[in-house]
Amino acid sequence: MPDSRPRRTFAVISHPDAGKSTLTEALALHARAIHEAGAVHGKGDRRGTVSDWMAMEKARGISITSAALQFAYRDHVVNLVDTPGHSDFSEDTYRVLSAVDSAVMLVDAGKGLEPQTLKLFRVCALRGIPVITVINKWDR
């Protein structure tokens, strides 16, 4: 029998190195979809993030393609899509934005609003996609 619970699909978007994969990992951990949070640059015995699964992504420490994580949260099914931040891979991000309910825009407090961030805000506005803004890296 198909799962009839309501679904919510979020894209995590931003400029490069704002912490998209780390936020995705933290949300999946909070929802108990994973049991241990990894790191983009896994050090020692710490594993990498679940959304950066390709060998090239692990080696470079960046997302090259979008990755979807699905988990139950309360009475909903959540689809969380970690997107690439680098403009070289922006077409993948734009495709994801055509299929989501809303976006979580991550802003690096130390870098502020970068050109890629502003471009993504404009794309979301043109498509009528609600944006939740999260400011990250306050400690820098």
Going from N- to C-terminal start, the domains of the chain cover 7-136
From residue 103, give the alpha-carbon distance in Å to each of 34, 45, 72. Answer: 22, 32, 18
Q: What's the confidence (pLDDT) of residue 53?
A: 54
- Dihedral sign for Cα atoms in the order 107, 109, 110, 112: positive
Superfamily of structural domain 7-136: P-loop containing nucleotide triphosphate hydrolases (3.40.50.300)
Residues 5-49 have pLDDT tens digits of 899 999 999 988 888 878 888 887 776 666 565 555 544 444 555
Structure tokens at 114: 């970068």
d(CA 103, CA 37): 22
Do the beta carbons of residue 66 and residue 13 sit within 8 Å? Answer: no
What is the distance, to the nearest Å, from the Cα of residue 123 to the centroid of all Cα atoms in its chain? 16
